[in-house]
Each structure stands twice: as structure tokens, then as C-alpha cells.
Amino acid sequence: MTETKYSGIASIGEIPAHWKIYRIKSLLSLRSEKNSGNRDLLSVYLDRGVISYNDSDGMQVHKPSADLSNYQNVHVGDFVLNNQQAWRGSVGVSKYDGIVSPAYYVCELNFPHKEFFNIAIRSKFYVPFFIQYSKGIRVGQWDLSPIGLKSIPFFEPPHEEQQAIVAYI
């Protein structure tokens, strides 16, 4: 039987004692790097994470602005979220270089196992945290502030367990 410890969050309760607990702010650095040229347009979707606009497979996609100069660069491994849809789980780690709307948050992710982070942060387990830290007049207009984003906890199992979780999924 695995030894446990209190997570510090009543809705979660106990977690394995050997897992680390961080505030996500220690893993992310917000970055706003303007579009540097002819790059693929990316978007973030609830069910697919970060995707290329060209790979939308007929999904309803937002029409890009005619002027892409204010769009932000995204690099492979960056954490990207639609701050107006984060409460629904529209977040993900990018597998692409490209650009996203200036309304999105782009963060350099300082976490070695990016695939595990992507699986964990996109899980239904994290949606309540995005809801908790989003604010607005009504649900459809909720917005996640940088302060709210940085307040979200992240639970890190040892690297071997992360690898096993990714392999299993």
C-alpha cells in the first residue's frame, strides 16, 4: 500500500506521499512574442488541444484576422490556452511551431516531460481549477487572468510514473 499525504485541497484529499505539489506558476513563464513571419495558424480546442488551423477537419474554427502582425509566436513545447475558454479545458502543450490569437496565453513550459504535463493538465481533473480561477459576468464570458492561471496547483509523480502513465494512455 502506498503512503499518502494530504494534498492541501479538500476536493482532492490524499495523494501519494512521494508526489510533489507545485503552483503552476513555478512551471510556466508567460510570453508574448509577436508574430515573426509566415507561420502556421494554431488554435486550442477542448477535445484536441493545440491544433493547426489547417488540420481542423471541418471543425468550427474562428476566422483569423486579416492582420496577423499582433498574433503570438508559439514554439513546440509551449503551453497554450484560450483564456476565455480555459474554464472548459481549452488548453494544451503545442506540438507545433506557429502563431495564435493575441487573446491567448502562451507560456514557456519548464517541465521535462511535456507529454505527461499535457495529459495531466487537459484531464477532467483540472477543469474545476480552471473554473475556480476564471471570472466574469456570466459563464460564456469567463476569463482566466494570469494571476488565476498561476494559482492552479500541479501534482507531479516521479518521472518513472509519468512515463508509465503516458505509456498506458
Taking the whole predicted model, whether its pTM rises above 0.75 is answered as yes
Give phi and psi for 98, each to the nearest 5.
Answer: 175, -155
Within 8 A by CB and 6+ apart from 90, the residues are 44, 45, 46, 81, 82
Q: pLDDT value at position 27?
A: 96
In the predicted structure, residue 162 carries a pLDDT above the cut 90: yes
Query: Ranked by mean pLDDT, which of 44-58, 79-93, 147-161 comes out on top?
Result: 147-161
Judged by DSSP in three states, 13 sits in coil
What kind and span of H or E run contains 72?
strand 72-74
Q: To 10 degrees, the CA torsion angle through 125, 126, 129, 135?
A: -120
Q: What confidence score (pLDDT) does residue 37 get?
A: 77
Tens digits of per-residue pLDDT, 120-151?
999 988 888 888 888 888 777 788 888 888 89
pLDDT in tens, 64-102: 667 788 899 999 999 999 888 888 888 999 999 999 999
Q: Are strands 79-82 and 49-52 parallel, antiparallel or unpaired?
A: unpaired
